[in-house]
Structure 1
Amino acid sequence: MNGPEIHVEFPPELHLFVPRARPTGVARATADGVSTLGHVVESLGVPLTEVGALLVDGREVPAGHVPTGGESVRVRAVAHPQEVPGAPLRFLLDVHLGTLARRLRLLGVDTTYQSADLGDPALASLSAAERRVMLSRDRGLLRRRELWAGAYVYSTRPEEQLREVLARFRPELRPWTRCTACNGPLAPATKAEVADQLKGGTERSYDVFARCGDCGRAYWKGAHHDQLEAIVARALTDAGRDGA
């Protein structure tokens, strides 16, 4: 390591991004007199989407601060719940988070999901154009400057991923109001209006239907409804609500 050093301390929740900081949580970096503190933190492996306050020798500084040799930096994790000012809270998920996307839509959360891999530049541009929070496990994507906002999804298990996102952002929940296939709005529909999508057993057994206003997909309380009800009930309980 050439040049004067700074010491950067990370909280336990960010250690997974900085293996070389374990077990103390402190990593060393070079202060070149040009690179900003935000750049230094990202070069150590932590996306700025996961960073809250930055403290230099005990005082809070912006990410644009240029560190000098001998400074001690303390990085704090982003606060929960996290506020995203300036736009309605909406999400954009990458190709690897399809189950999470469907569960967010089930809860009525505005969620765009890309089932094809568009590539990081296109996803970042879409986040900016539609002012959506990018959710991803791709650290490189979350470091792209054109993102509107972003968040790393820590777990690989859909139920834990959902719990993470709901705890971090506290979105308004309106279950059963969005199409889980395309994110469009659901509205009540008669059996006649959705008859072309029903098989004989379904047509005989069910009388209450909804239909997506965008893609036309029909919904009813079928074989998997109890499982979906359980997902909704857990989310509402975690959010401190006891009903849809």
Structure 2
Amino acid sequence: MERPEIWIEFAPELHVFVASAQRAGRSAVRTDGSSTLGHVVESMGVPLTEVGALLAGGRPVGASHVPGAGEEISVCAVSRPQQLPGPARFLLDVHLGTLARRLRLLGVDAAYESVDIGDAALAARSAAEQRVMLSRDRGLLRRRELWAGAHVYSSRPDDQLRDVLSRFAPPLAPWTRCTACNGQLHSAAKEAVQEQLRDGTERSYDVFAQCGDCGQVYWRGAHHGRLNAIVADALAEFGGLSRS
């Protein structure tokens, strides 16, 4: 028995995931007649985390829809800013350490695993803590137990940060989180943190902050100009998008 054929078209934003034959517009795909549309889309390389509306013959359908022979399918990209069922809290895999630190610099709640704990453990943590899993690993993003997920498209930290901020529009509160552990920062008197300071730092600076979780001490040192530029650029481009 011949397998049924459907017609499928992917939004341009999703072309990075699919074979070149599926990038030119509508293309014919044979299915087994029983697989869901979600399974068909993922089998063609597109994580469902990146999919917005699914249309069959122009009408919205869910990922559980089973396409019939000759059906015309449109796969849309997720809309931006993307609505989440809860606060914009993130979990990043071992390969996204720089992005995690930059999100924390902006006051965004970004948990990060500095060692590879495996896809199952990451997905379980995403579900338990209701965090959006950020990763470049398509296999991880296909795990059903994820609370939510998003593919990080670029390998460059600057582009990664812009991608996440434009997609989720998290509230920005720069200089309020520890870039080392994600804890909350609070003002600290010099006397309270003096034992953690080198002589030059103690003589040159008077304003300090300390992490309430790991105790890391912060001050506006020589590196502050570079960090301030990251903050200023993010606020200029995305500060108005932030939701409370």
Same fold (TM over 0.5): yes
TM tier, smaller: over 0.9
Contact 2:54–2:60 (CA under 8 A) maintained in structure 1: yes
Structure-2 residue corresponding to 1:88 = 87
- How far has the Cα of 1:96 moved from its partner? 0.5
Q: Name the SS for the 2:172 alignment partner.
A: coil
Contact 2:50–2:150 (CA under 8 A) maintained in structure 1: yes
TM-score (norm 1): 0.95
Q: Distance in 1 between matches of 2:75 and 2:129?
A: 30
- How far has the Cα of 1:121 moved from its partner? 0.7
Contact 2:54–2:62 (CA under 8 A) maintained in structure 1: yes
Q: Name the SS for the 1:193 alignment partner.
A: helix
Structure-1 residue corresponding to 2:176 = 177
1:55-107 Cα distance to aligned partner (Å, 9 max, x none): 1111111111011111110000000000111x221000000000000000000
Q: Distance in 1 between matches of 2:32 and 2:191?
A: 70
1:56-95 aligned within 5 A: 56-85=56-85, 87-95=86-94
Q: Distance in 1 between matches of 2:233 and 2:105?
A: 12
TM-score (norm 2): 0.95
Q: Distance in 1 between matches of 2:32 and 2:23?
A: 26
Q: How many correspondences in the alignment?
A: 239
Structure 2, unaligned stretches of length 5 or more? none
Contact 2:5–2:29 (CA under 8 A) maintained in structure 1: yes
Contact 2:172–2:239 (CA under 8 A) maintained in structure 1: no
- How far has the Cα of 1:22 moved from its partner? 4.4
- How far has the Cα of 1:240 moved from its partner? 4.2
Q: Distance in 2 between matches of 1:104 and 1:26?
A: 38
Instruction: Pick closer, same or farther for the CA change 1:43–1:23 going to 2, 3 Å.
Output: closer
- How far has the Cα of 1:30 moved from its partner? 2.4
- Structure 2 letter corresponding to 1:18: V
Structure 1, unaligned stretches of length 5 or more? none
Structure-2 residue corresponding to 1:107 = 106
- How far has the Cα of 1:23 moved from its partner? 4.1
Structure-1 residue corresponding to 2:186 = 187
User: How big is the alpha-carbon RMSD for the aligned residues of Structure 1 and Structure 2?
Assistant: 1.1
Contact 2:9–2:22 (CA under 8 A) maintained in structure 1: no
- Structure 2 letter corresponding to 1:117: D
Structure-2 residue corresponding to 1:98 = 97
Contact 1:15–1:21 (CA under 8 A) maintained in structure 2: no
Instruction: Indicate whether 1:202 and 2:193 are aligned.
Output: no
Structure-2 residue corresponding to 1:9 = 9
Q: Distance in 1 between matches of 2:89 and 2:153?
A: 19
Q: Name the SS for the 1:52 alignment partner.
A: strand
Q: Distance in 2 between matches of 1:201 and 1:25?
A: 63
Q: Distance in 1 between matches of 2:156 and 2:27?
A: 30
